[in-house]
Amino acid sequence: MNVSPKWICHPQDGRETRLVPVFRRRFSVKSSLKSAVLHLTAHGLYETEINGKAVTRNRFTPGFTSYYYRIQVQKYDVTGLLQQGSNEWSTTVGDGWWRWNNNFGYVLALYGFLELNYTDGSRDTIVTDGQFDVSTGPIIRTDLQKGEIYDACVIPSDWIPAVVCTEHTGGELIETQSVPVREMETFAGKALRDRAGNLVFDFGQNIAGYIRMKLRNTKRGQMIRIKHGEALTPDGLFSTANCDGGKQEFQEIRYICAGREEEAYTPHFAVFGFHYCLVEGLEDFNDVELTAVAVYSAMEETGKFTCSNPLLNRLVENARWSQKGNFLDVPVDCPTRERNTWTGDAMIYCRTAAWLMNVREFFDKWLRDQTIEQYASGKVGITFPSTSSIHHPEEVKRLQEQNPGLTVAGPDGNGHIGEDSVGWGDSSVWIPYQMYLMYGDISFLERQYDTAKRWTDYSLRCMKEKNSRYQKESWYQNGDGDYIYDTRFHYGEWNEPLPPEPEILKLFAEGGTPADYVAYMAQVGRPEVATAYTARSCHILAEMAGMLGKEGDAVYYGNLFEKIRTAYDRYLIAENGIIREGHQAPYIRALALNLVSEKKKPLVINQLKKELKAAGYHLNTGFLSTVYLLPVLCDLGLKDEAFQILEQTEAPGWLHPIILGATTMLENWDGMDTFRDSFNHYSFGAVCEFLFEYVAGIRPRFDGPGFQKFDLRPVIGGTLTWAKAEYKTTYGRIRSEWSLKNGELTYLCEVPDGTEAHLLLPDGQRHILQGGYYEFKAGL
Ligand code: BGC
């Protein structure tokens, strides 16, 4: 269709004014309207109404993409909202991700058109242009994280003509790919007083979303402040100290009452991570009613897991709640402090994400932005669309004056020092591969292959750099320096529940800043992590290449994997099997990624056993290795150890926070005891992969991706007397269930038509099963 809408804005909007514009267009509809379609997008987030009725129940539209390169347009059938004669279309635009941290732009703008088709074949279009009026309304200020100031006394007036926006007008307009973000579960707030006597509401669940507020008997101009936090401190006070990152303005609503007998309010363009709200400005419980609304990408729930240990059942639901709390159009680390679109977290968790909910479209959309924002060097952002580097050229200039180290996002940018980080950048290889496995959709590999390859080549180039700190090491002496990656900054295991290394303690004791730490670590490198993950990416890339018929690449990266693997075994694993004492991660990593020779394997396993014992069968792995810990132990025949760690109720361990009342996954195992860091960090929820694939035993296979073929290999262990899981595939439901009675195992399964299951029971029985229901008895 030949239409030419303009990006329109409020003439006074800008970096300092930060207006929240309301656009209005009055128009007339002739008789015999056949259909009406609205096409809309914004720089910022929009809420649009026709004749006072919301056009959509979708929230946070147009979603978050790498706006300078692609921006989504939504399409709505609005026939039913129009009437013959005069009509009014009005739209409010809030900051959203466009102006969050001033990341993309200073000015909010609207773009779209309304298409009116009549039964006689004629057509009218109304496009965004200077014929729109603009004003500001009751939303005085809005920020995704800081919150919203809303003055219910304000009614938009003083309309002036909207103007054409001259700021960067974003990238290609594309059809929306987002899984719609919706208001999902609601939780009624229970009023209580915290230890200081503050009026607090407890919603019973930590979520990301916002509140619906009903007020009674207010006075005009009275201000109600609502703060959102994740927990009460151990001594019973409302506080956001664990998750606000020291920010002054954080997750707060300021509502100025209109002074009606009853009034209601729901935030428009803000989302908070919370379980509790603190209400100021009201004396009494009776004057306010709060309901919490969980808001996230409406992904279908696909997997269920339950067993005889109720704490494990809660663990699965906590992971699901953290997924819901962090998958709002893009995945973020936590819905509170950072809200960064961290790649490492998503990489670690993506397979669990697919077990719990259908994330096919969600990751499909997100990965495309990774490709777009990949740096020319092949480096991949630690966050994308980048929330850790700035897109807006003027903003970069402005901020670089205060902070010369500030980094620029996008292909032409210079990138953040963390963006060399293995494990984070390797998300470009891992996520599409896992999505292919879980959904059988080869387009994940086809589309992402080049991105994955460019990243791996980048890491391989960095691997060739020399680090003078290690010049005496035998890998340099023997001419194998090209296969040990000992340079650059890497986040590494991140968050191992262990005391920091002495050098790091010294650095901070001498007044070092986090930036000094990063600079120091960039000199030290992390050979045993960086080499391992580059090996893994070569290996997976070779597999992907094979699947895509790229034989040359399959051989090339396959050979590189072998060379790196040999070097790893030779130089990074000592003759006695020690890799790094006091840590479990190095052993788990090397074993999981197949980097240990047959000769050293028993020694490495021995060291691992020693480490587990020394830690009292608590885990001490960090971000990267925790997901591998339990599967590796089971594969090595150390099932008892695996279950002991899994069912451990003291910190560090998955069940400890649950005993203390956690309803989501924590960033730190002892976060609730110490009241520190995020209480809604999904990464460690990746243990669900073990529950589905080992305890319940349903395992996807690459020779029948998307569960066309799968294994059923239940692992019976720990205190469990029964376990069951089910999973919805495109073929139908898979079910796997076992129970133990008097040393005998009863195993039940359901295999969807069109699939093939390879069952292995603990007593060695093997069966190949086609569609149907089955029951087996087995010994242990
Ligand atoms: C985030 C993590 C992230 C990490 C990088 C943290 O501050 O919360 O989830 O992956 O930084 O190591």
Nearest to 495 by CA among 626, 364, 586, 606: 626
Q: Whole-angstrom Cα distance, residue 505 to residue 499? A: 9
Residue to probe by mutation, ligand 1, list 334, 342, 683, most atoms within 8 Å of CB: 342
Token couple for 379: 């480096």
Two tokens at 470?
Answer: 């290690």
In this structure, the number of other CB atoms found within 10 A of the CB of residue 83 comes to 11
Indicate if ligand 1 lies below 6 Å from the C-beta of 491.
Answer: yes
Q: Is 494 in the pocket of ligand 1 (CB under 6 A)?
A: yes
Does residue 517 line the site of ligand 1, with CB under 6 A? no
Look up residue 300 and give its DSSP letter: P
CA-wise closest residue to 453 among 543, 531, 566: 543
Count of C-beta atoms within a 10 Å radius of residue 228: 32
| Res. 2: pLDDT tops 90 | no
- Residues constituting the chain: 780
Per the CB < 8 A criterion, the answer to whether 259 and 219 are in contact is: yes
pLDDT tens-place string over residues 7-52: 999 999 999 999 999 999 999 999 999 999 999 999 999 999 999 9
Residue 416 is predicted with a pLDDT of: 80
Closest CA to 365 of 693, 608, 62, 715: 62
Q: Are 527 and 487 in contact (CB under 8 A)?
A: no
pLDDT at 508 over 80: yes
Separation CA 368–CA 176 (nearest Å): 13
The pair of three-digit structure tokens given for residue 746, joined into one six-digit string = 């009863």
Kindly indicate the confidence band of residue 404, based on its pLDDT and cuts at 50, 70 and 90. confident
**Structure token pair of residue 112:** 């779209």
- What was the pLDDT predicted at 58? 98
Distance CA 638, CA 611 (A): 13
Which residues lie below 8 Å from residue 58, measured CB to CB, with a gap of 6+? 74, 180, 181, 182
Helices (H) and strands (E) counted in the chain, each on its own, are 18, 36
In this prediction, residue 115 carries a pLDDT of: 97
Question: What sign does the CA torsion over 532, 533, 538, 541 have?
Answer: positive
Confidence (pLDDT) at 169 = 76
Non-local (6+) Cβ contacts of 298 within 8 A are 179, 180, 181, 182, 184
Q: Summarize pLDDT for 316-339 with one digit per residue, the tens.
A: 999 999 999 999 999 999 999 999
For the Cβ of 344 lying below 6 angstroms from any atom of ligand 1, the answer is yes
Per residue in 291-308, pLDDT tens? 999 999 999 999 999 999
Other C-beta atoms lying within 10 Å of the C-beta of residue 498: 16
Tokens 């959709």 belong to residue: 441
Taking only the tens place, the pLDDT of each residue in 674-733 is: 999 999 999 999 999 999 999 999 999 999 999 999 999 999 999 999 999 999 999 999
Evaluate: CB of 338 within 6 angstroms of ligand 1: yes
Q: What is the pLDDT of residues 653-670, one digit of tens each?
A: 999 999 999 999 999 999
Please determine, for residue 341, whether its predicted confidence score (pLDDT) is greater than 80: yes
Give the pLDDT of residue 412: 80
What is the dihedral angle through the alpha carbons of 496, 501, 507, 512, rounded to the nearest 10 degrees?
A: 0
What 3-state DSSP class applies to 60?
A: coil
How far is 617 from 644, CA to CA, in rounded Å? 7
Predicted local distance difference test score (pLDDT) of residue 292: 98
- Residue with the nearest Cα to atom 2 of ligand 1? 333
Q: Kindly state if the Cβ of 432 falls inside 6 Å of ligand 1.
A: no
Residue with tokens 């099963």: 769
Cα-Cα-Cα-Cα torsion 53, 54, 57, 63, nearest 10 degrees, comes to 170
> What would the two tokens of residue 169 be?
């007008």
- Give the pLDDT confidence of 175-222 residue by residue, as tens digits: 999 999 999 999 999 999 999 999 999 999 999 999 999 999 999 999
At residue 410 the predicted structure's pLDDT band, cuts being 50, 70 and 90, is confident
What is the Cα–Cα distance from 770 to 709, expressed in whole angstroms? 10
Q: pLDDT category, 397, cuts 50, 70, 90?
A: confident
**Residue of 61, 26, 549 lying closest to 268 (CA atoms):** 61
Give mean pLDDT, residues 63-76.
97
Pairwise CA distance, residues 220 & 223, whole Å: 9
What is the mean predicted confidence (pLDDT) over 573-592? Answer: 98
% of the chain with per-residue pLDDT over 90: 92
Question: Does ligand 1 lie within 6 Å of residue 201's CB atom?
Answer: no
Q: Of all residues in the chain, what percent carry a pLDDT higher than 70?
A: 100
Mean of pLDDT over the chain? 96
Interacting residues of 100 by C-beta distance below 8 A, sequence separation 6+: 143, 144, 145, 387
Task: Please give the average per-residue pLDDT across 367-394, as a whole number.
Answer: 92
Q: Which distant-in-sequence residues (6+ apart) come within 8 Å of 380 by Cβ?
A: 343, 370, 374, 419, 424, 425, 427, 428, 451, 455, 458
User: Pick from 690, 712, 689: which is nearest to 762 by CA?
Assistant: 712
> What ligand 1 atom has the least distance to the C-alpha of 338?
8
Q: What is the pLDDT of residue 226?
A: 98
Give pTM, 2 decimals: 0.97
Residue 408 near residue 376 (C-beta atoms within 8 A): no
d(CA 666, CA 676) in angstroms, rounded, equals 10
In 3D space, the residue among 233, 232, 199 whose CA is nearest the CA of residue 213 turns out to be 199
Task: Say which range, 127-136, 287-296, 409-418, 533-542, has the weakest mean pLDDT.
Answer: 409-418
Distance from C-alpha of 615 to C-alpha of 629, rounded to nearest angstrom: 14
* Residue 170 confidence (pLDDT) above 80: no
Cβ neighbours, 10 Å, residue 411: 15
- H/E stretch holding 124 reads strand 123-127
Rounded CA separation 62/244 (Å) = 27
Query: What is the spatial distance between Cα 223 and Cα 152, in angstroms, rounded to a whole number?
Result: 10
Residue 242 has pLDDT above 80, yes or no: yes
- Cα–Cα distance for residue pair 609/615, rounded to 1 Å: 10
Average pLDDT over residues 165-183: 93
CB-ligand 1 contact for 641 (6 Å cutoff): no
Quick one: pLDDT band at residue 589, thresholds 50, 70, 90? Answer: very high
CA distance 210 to 290: 10
* Residue position matching structure tokens 């029951």: 775
d(CA 12, CA 735): 59
Report d(CA 325, CA 228) in Å as an integer. 14
- pLDDT of residue 405 exceeding 80, the answer is no
Q: How many CA atoms lie within 13 A of 664 on its CB side?
A: 28
pLDDT band at 137 (very low <50, low <70, confident <90, very high): very high
754 Cα–ligand 1 center, Å: 41
Which ligand 1 atom is at minimum distance from the Cα of 683?
A: 9
**CB neighbourhood size of 206 (10 A):** 28
Give the confidence band of 396 by pLDDT, cuts at 50, 70, 90.
Answer: confident
Looking at the predicted structure, is the pLDDT value of residue 515 above 90?
no
Q: Which residues pair with 228 in a beta bridge?
A: 277
Whole-number pLDDT of residue 409: 85
Q: How far is the CA of 524 from the centre of ligand 1 (A)?
A: 20
Contact (CB, 8 A) for 448 and 371: yes
Which pLDDT belongs to residue 246?
93
What is the band of 103 on the pLDDT scale with cuts at 50, 70, 90? confident
The pLDDT assigned to 401 comes to 87
Question: Is residue 455 in contact with ligand 1, taking CB distance under 6 Å?
Answer: no
Reduced to 3 states (helix: H, G, I; strand: E, B; else coil), residue 487 is: coil
Segment holding 688, helix H or strand E = helix 688-690
Instruction: Using the predicted structure, report yes or no on whether residue 487 has a pLDDT greater than 80.
Output: yes
Number of Cβ within 10 Å of residue 100's Cβ equals 19
Q: Ligand 1 centre and the CA of 339: distance in Å?
A: 10
Pairing of strands 53-54, 722-729: unpaired
Q: Which two tokens stand for residue 288?
A: 């306010």
Q: Beta 8-9 vs 45-50: how paired, if at all?
A: unpaired
- Looking at residue 328, its amino acid is L
Q: Is the pLDDT of residue 772 over 90?
A: yes
CA of 382 to the centre of ligand 1 (A): 9
Tokens of 305: 């897991």
Amino acid identity of 561? F
* 361 CA from centroid of ligand 1 (Å): 24
> Ligand 1 pocket: which of 243, 333, 383, 420 to mutate (most atoms <8 Å of CB)?
333
The pLDDT assigned to 613 comes to 97
CA atoms within 13 A on the CB side of 694: 26
> Residues 110-124: pLDDT tens digits?
999 999 999 999 999
pLDDT of residue 465: 96
Q: Mention every residue, 6+ apart, whose C-beta is less than 8 A from residue 526.
A: 490, 492
Q: Which of 409-418, 565-574, 699-708 shows the lowest per-residue confidence on average (mean pLDDT)?
A: 409-418
Q: How does residue 775 score in pLDDT terms, banded at 50, 70 and 90?
A: very high
Measured between alpha carbons, how far is 755 from 766 in angstroms, rounded to an integer? 17
Quote the ligand 1 centre to 381 CA distance (angstroms): 13
Identify whether the C-beta of residue 714 lies closer than 8 Å to the C-beta of residue 747: yes
Query: Residue 375 above 80 pLDDT?
Result: yes
Q: Is the CB of 342 under 6 A from ligand 1?
A: yes
Residue 263 CA to residue 267 CA, distance in Å, equals: 14
Which tens digits make up the pLDDT trace of 343-359? 999 999 999 999 999 99
Report d(CA 450, CA 378) in Å as an integer: 10
